[in-house]
Structure 1
Amino acid sequence: MQPQVYHSQSIQAWEQRWFSQQNSSYGLMKQVAWTIAQRLIPIFHEQGIQRIAVCCGQGNNAGDGYLTAKYLTQAGFSVDIYAAELGASKDLHLASAEAQQAGLTIYSDFTFVSEYDAYIDALFGIGLNRELNTDWQSIIQKINGRQGLRIAVDIPSGLQANSGQPLPCAVKADYTFTALGLKAGLFTGQGKEFCGKVQVIDVIPADEKLQPIARISPNKISLPQRQAFGHKGSYGHVLIAGGHATMGGAVIMAAEAAFHAGAGKVTCACDAKHHTAILSRAPNIMLRDINALSAADIQALLEHVDAVSFGMGLGRDAWAEQQFKTWFPLIQQSDVEAVLDADALWFLAEFPEKLKAHSYATPHSGEAAKLLGISTQEVEADRVQAIHFLQEKYAGQWVLKGAGSLILEDELWICTAGNAGMGTGGMGDVLAGMISSLKAQFHDMIHLHEIVTLHALAGDYLAQRGMRGLQAQDMAQAVYHAVNL
């Protein structure tokens, strides 16, 4: 079973149920801290780390820090604590007293008196939901500005646990040891920028009331072997539709991606101005002039394909609107697997309608905002809620693209593959082509989150030589690599 991801409030309620069964909250704090210390000891030995600064705030997360410092001191490391004034928590006061009894030096501010090999962040836990004041922002910037390994206890301080948004800054950790269960903010939004390598400190048993909000999509995907007697008709026919007279590149990249993901046949319906360019790159792509197609022609095309990707490079002018009003109802009435991307989503927002079954919509945050009638900032403030709202409003299956893409099918998945180099024009077109190709080949035998992950793995393969300057037009061979692993 793939790792489960939880909302911070569910984790906190789970803790309270554990305590209500007469389990000790301080005992749990000690258990978490001891486990973190045991995980850190081999890392510190391997990297030659001796001097460690532990930065503690005012809540129970700080208690984890005090106790981790104690256990690391007992293991032979040189540890100093930098701490804010203690809050009201009884457990926090007990942890601070144990650290002092172990002989640790506790500094009352965050002016580091020495250079350290590692900095442990125990300032704030998963309950943080407000923007940090300037004093706390300054402390976080000090930690980020130091040389040395950075380790976050539970979640990097300043990062919202569910959205992955900094408030407005957060500790940039190399390792995050998150208590009890994974939180969505570690993987989506800006979370990947701050969390480094994530490990779970799973020290109490889950109960039946604890329900995940998502699962982590697997990074190893195996497609069925092809049969020896297969032919081009065995592997699906994909139709790529879009390509305004001034925007031909999107349909080219989508069509090439469809072929490289294994489709047996690909037809591209676009403005005839682009046909020569398409044939010069990929002479195996069949072409239709979108301007010459009547509604009857489009319906006939849809009857002879297995999947369609619609909207790439369609544009938003009067011509594009007319194309949408012609194509979209016919796609909705057909039995084909249907991918809606780019400008098709823009028009869907203008003319909202419930999507048919086997529809796959792939907005980025700006497109999601348009579809929901809210701001991009509101989408990013709660990506999990946004994708659920999209499915509730429009039906279908959804990909909310971006770092830590969210995929909502029957349940929510988070893609942890991919890299910052993929933030470039055309990557969404490649994804749309891959979805239509793999759905044309396998239909319900492949899940949407698996296709999104294959796309991300292709991007990671392409980025092996560097992320800066990575181009979507170069993804074709990387897609071929990913689907043949």
Structure 2
Amino acid sequence: MQAVVYHSDDIRAWEQRWFAAQNSSLGLMQQAAWSIAQQFLEVFKDRSINNIAVWCGQGNNAGDGYFIASYLKQAGFHVEIFAAQLGESNDLHCAAQFAIEKKVQIHSDFDIKRTFDCHIDALFGIGLNRELNTNWQQAIQQFNEQSGLKVSIDIPSGLHANTGCALPFAIRADHTFTVLGLKAGLFTGQGKEYVGQVHLVNLIPIDEELKPLAYLTPTSIKLPKRLAFGHKGSYGHVLVVGGHEQMGGAVIMAAEAAFHAGAGKVTVICHQKHHQAILSRAPNIMLRDINALDEENIREILSQVDAVCFGMGLGRDDWAKQIYQQWFNLLNQSTHLETVLDADALWFLAKQPEKLGPHVYATPHPGEAATLLGSSTAKIENDRIAAIYALQHKYAGQWVLKGAGSLILEDNLYICTEGNAGMGTGGMGDVLAGMIASLKAQFHKAIALHEIVTLHAQAGDELAKQGMRGLQAYQMNEAITQVVN
């Protein structure tokens, strides 16, 4: 079963419905704190933790912190609370009073003069949606400078629960115990940098009004076993179109990725200048000269293939514009084809907006998404979920917004939790385009776009086992073969 991700507003509304049914808000706070304390004991039972500092803010997240501190003291730890002035919540005051009764030492500031084995962040919860003032920024930076294990309650303080943006600083946690439901900001944007390992604390039953925002992509993907009597025609024919006179590498990487993902046949249509290099590297790739084709030739070729990835290394000059116009409508209107638009094809799409067919998969990185929406990269990254919905609303089709916690919008929204920072290198997008075309050519509707993105991320993780720095996209091929098998 796929893990469900919720919007913070929907989680708060769910809570309010629970309280409206005569359930106690203080009781839920106590239950959350008790559950987190028990998970804490289980997760860290093999670690040498004796002294714990709990950092408490002014809202209900701080109330969780006071109760957690009390329960951990009862469990035998030395616990001290470092706290801001209490807010107005009655539940928060009850939690603070409970800590006093349990004789937990409470400091009315964040002036920490001793070393602790663990620091627990209960400064802000999921309601934070504004940039923090200077004092809170300093408190978060001070927290991050501490030695020892760092644990956040619900979401690392300073991180936006829905966008994964730091506001502008956030706690860098080793572990996050998130309450009630998973939040998108834990998995996309900058979130992966701050949350560490995520633990879900289930407390109350889901009601009918609570709707998912997104789903986490499954991590176990099984492709059908190949038939003993299959042949190269059984496994799809992929066409790779691009390769400006001055840019031949992208089509090579896309084509090789298509083969390594299992395609039966791959043809590259590019500038003739690159043919010798392609054949010397991969003699199993078939070739056509992109300048030697008219519309009739293109229609004939498209009738013989199953999937096309278009735009890698195409360029943006007048020649590239002519090629784009020659190919785009034929691809968009050929409903039997699985078509991937990447790189320079997306740049031309932004200049000449068209509605895409349901068989078209567009794969922008944030900069390309900004061009497609007439926005800026910073605005895209500030709300990646809003951006991918805006892309589909404007252009239709199916979308991948690449980056940390890649988003995939097909029938539903998915967040990819795999992949690594080593994949931030030139050519990885070309590899993904080739994989999408290959696996769609082989399986069509039997494999989902989000599953292919996950396989690409898993190949990157396999490649990064010896270290992330210095990875090259052309090295992905063996890892791709491994994950698809």
Q: TM-score range by the shorter chain?
A: over 0.9
Paired position in structure 1 for 2:409: 408
> For the residues of structure 2 that align with 1:450 and 1:137, how far apart are their CA atoms?
39
Paired position in structure 2 for 1:150: 150
Aligned partner letter, 1:419 = N
1:350-361 alignment to 2 at 5 Å?
350-361=351-362
3-state SS of paired residue (1:69): helix
Deviations 1:211-232 (A, max 9, x none): 0010010011000000000000
Pair 1:459 & 2:472 matched: no
Shift of 1:333: 2.1
Greater Cα shift, 210-219 or 367-376: 367-376
> For the residues of structure 2 that align with 1:265 and 1:97, how far apart are their CA atoms?
71
Paired position in structure 2 for 1:107: 107
Aligned partner letter, 2:199 = Q
> For the residues of structure 1 that align with 2:320 and 2:52, how far apart are their CA atoms?
60
1:236-255 alignment to 2 at 5 Å?
236-255=236-255
> For the residues of structure 2 that align with 1:375 and 1:254, how far apart are their CA atoms?
27
Paired position in structure 1 for 2:63: 63
Paired position in structure 1 for 2:118: 118
Deviations 1:237-294 (A, max 9, x none): 0000001111111000000000000000000001111111111111000011111111
Aligned partner letter, 2:365 = H
1:40-189 alignment to 2 at 5 Å?
40-189=40-189
1:431-442 alignment to 2 at 5 Å?
431-442=432-443
Over 6 Å off, 4+ runs: none
Shift of 1:456: 0.2
> For the residues of structure 1 that align with 2:221 and 2:191, how far apart are their CA atoms?
24
Deviations 1:181-218 (A, max 9, x none): 00000000010110011011110001000000100100
Shift of 1:483: 0.2
Aligned partner letter, 1:363 = P
> For the residues of structure 2 that align with 1:3 and 1:14, how far apart are their CA atoms?
18
RMSD: 0.7
Aligned partner letter, 1:219 = T
> For the residues of structure 2 that align with 1:113 and 1:39, how far apart are their CA atoms?
28
**TM-score with structure 2 length normalisation?**
0.99
Deviations 1:94-121 (A, max 9, x none): 0000001100111111111210000000
3-state SS of paired residue (1:259): helix
User: Unpaired runs of 5+ in structure 1?
Assistant: none
> For the residues of structure 1 that align with 2:358 and 2:303, how far apart are their CA atoms?
17
Matched-pair identity in %: 67
Aligned partner letter, 1:90 = N
8 Å contact kept, 1:346–1:367: yes
Aligned partner letter, 1:424 = T
> For the residues of structure 2 that align with 1:181 and 1:332, how far apart are their CA atoms?
39
> For the residues of structure 1 that align with 2:381 and 2:45, how far apart are their CA atoms?
39
Paired position in structure 1 for 2:349: 348
> For the residues of structure 1 that align with 2:145 and 2:47, how far apart are their CA atoms?
20
8 Å contact kept, 1:354–1:393: yes
Pair 1:229 & 2:229 matched: yes
Greater Cα shift, 371-380 or 20-29: 371-380
How many residues were matched structurally? 484
Aligned partner letter, 1:263 = A
8 Å contact kept, 1:338–1:436: yes
Shift of 1:366: 0.9
Greater Cα shift, 346-355 or 35-44: 35-44
3-state SS of paired residue (1:299): helix
3-state SS of paired residue (2:387): helix
> For the residues of structure 1 that align with 2:231 and 2:133, how far apart are their CA atoms?
64
3-state SS of paired residue (1:464): helix
Pair 1:424 & 2:413 matched: no
3-state SS of paired residue (2:15): helix
Aligned partner letter, 1:97 = Q
Shift of 1:462: 0.2
8 Å contact kept, 1:156–1:194: yes
Deviations 1:420-465 (A, max 9, x none): 1000000000000000000000000000000000000000000000
8 Å contact kept, 1:152–1:177: yes
> For the residues of structure 2 that align with 1:399 and 1:43, how far apart are their CA atoms?
35
> For the residues of structure 1 that align with 2:476 and 2:383, how far apart are their CA atoms?
30
Paired position in structure 1 for 2:299: 299
3-state SS of paired residue (1:357): strand
Aligned partner letter, 1:358 = H
3-state SS of paired residue (2:461): helix
> For the residues of structure 1 that align with 2:45 and 2:265, how far apart are their CA atoms?
55
> For the residues of structure 1 that align with 2:275 and 2:115, how far apart are their CA atoms?
62
3-state SS of paired residue (2:356): coil
3-state SS of paired residue (2:13): helix
Paired position in structure 2 for 1:325: 325
8 Å contact kept, 1:44–1:50: no
3-state SS of paired residue (2:63): helix
Pair 1:382 & 2:383 matched: yes
> For the residues of structure 2 that align with 1:44 and 1:77, how far apart are their CA atoms?
12
